[in-house]
Structure 1
């Protein structure tokens, strides 16, 4: 465990980039071997759109990273936050910290984006994708990237996360998001036990169905326990799902960058709550 702590305390930016690129490459290849949906679409053009938003997400996070580092340094120096107060062994700090960072930085952020109209406007871009695959994971409007960063920073303060825990969480979050968006077939014998703890593709793609009530379920990113605990867990036949969001089914809404960037500023954007 000490080795993991030491590595993530000083993880180079190149290694963090490799985790992101390596994850996309791995799941992209797996999608070709064992896809759930085999419908033909412009996979490279689709990926190009999503890679643009991946780049803007990286740019936002890189630009604002100093705030996250400063927040982590402060909570450690001030002995502030849950894991600082509990003074747990390192392995327990990692477990509790990861669970709480995922709860606040991912589940709460995601749930809030579906409940607050102005936040939904930005998150909507993620939901307009009608061909969900591993590249969809980082399909976030730059405005949403800022919103997500705020929740992650809030989580660091509440949890009292040291820097190694922050980078460990972000690395796992990236890979798990790529995994649970991937267009891959996960057999039931594997999905059932795995989804008791982690968010699997079979679970998360239900969230990408184009209509309520399924749109407002399965918010989790790393751990599935939060959806189960808070009553937002849902099961549906994956092959019956239709991706997208019913207010923006025009192909230009999910394939034209200028139009997608403008979605949050349109006069009439229906909130998923009606």
Structure 2
């Protein structure tokens, strides 16, 4: 187990970039053969906008890495954190750490992004995509990303987890981000069975419906248990889904400059 965790702790940046590229590429290819929805769109033009946003996020992530490193140095030299209160097997500590990260850095912050007005304006960029596919997983306003990463560090501090746990979570999160957004068709029975434990492609697609109440459901990233526990889980027929968001013009979906300006565009009237 120590060797396994050590691999993620010492994983160089280029391997992380390769992992992102491989996972995104895998689901990009699968979409061509097992599409949930047969989109009539320019796949490459659509991807350019989302990949450009990914590039901005990755640049911010480099700078954010300095703060992250400082947090872990502080944790290593202090008694802070729930994991330091008990002696547990490493694999149990890892599972607990991932669950708390998924709850705080994914479900909870995602809930806030929908419920707090200024945060929702940032998150509109993600929901304005009218052709949800694997690249949509990369589609976040840079400030939206900073908020998410800040909550991840809060979870790290609460648990007092080692950096290897956090990095393993990041690798898992990348997979689920592209898996759940990918325009792929799993057998309905398999998708529904899996949705009792993890977030599945069909399950997450309801979250990308263009209007309430589905927009405010299925906030989870990896584990579906949080949506079930807090009453935000929904599962229906995917044929009913229409992508986009009802307060942003669909025609602006692939306009990068417009998307970056959405949070500051007062002509867009938000729900709260």
Q: What residue in structure 2 maps to residue 244 of structure 1?
A: 244
Give 1:5-20 correspondences, 5 Å limit: 5-20=5-20
Q: What residue in structure 1 maps to residue 262 of structure 2?
A: 263
CA displacement 1:205-224 (0-9 Å, x = unmatched): 10000000000000000111
Pair 1:183 & 2:156 matched: no
How far apart in 1 are the matches of 2:96 and 2:73? 19
Q: What residue in structure 1 maps to residue 165 of structure 2?
A: 165
Pair 1:77 & 2:70 matched: no
CA displacement 1:14-38 (0-9 Å, x = unmatched): 1111111111000001111100001
CA displacement 1:221-266 (0-9 Å, x = unmatched): 01111111111101121121000100013312x1111111111001
Q: Which stretches in structure 1 are left out of the alignment for 5+ residues? A: none
Structure 1 residue 191: Cα displacement: 1.3
Structure 1 residue 11: Cα displacement: 0.9
Q: What residue in structure 2 maps to residue 22 of structure 1?
A: 22
**Using a 3 Å threshold, how does the CA distance of structure 1 residues 81 and 270 change in structure 2: closer, same or farther?**
farther
State the number of aligned residues: 272
Structure 1 residue 152: Cα displacement: 1.2
CA displacement 1:175-214 (0-9 Å, x = unmatched): 1010000000011232123211111001101000000000
Q: What residue in structure 2 maps to residue 148 of structure 1?
A: 148
Q: What residue in structure 2 maps to residue 93 of structure 1?
A: 93
- TM (norm. structure 2) is 0.97
How far apart in 1 are the matches of 2:269 and 2:237? 26
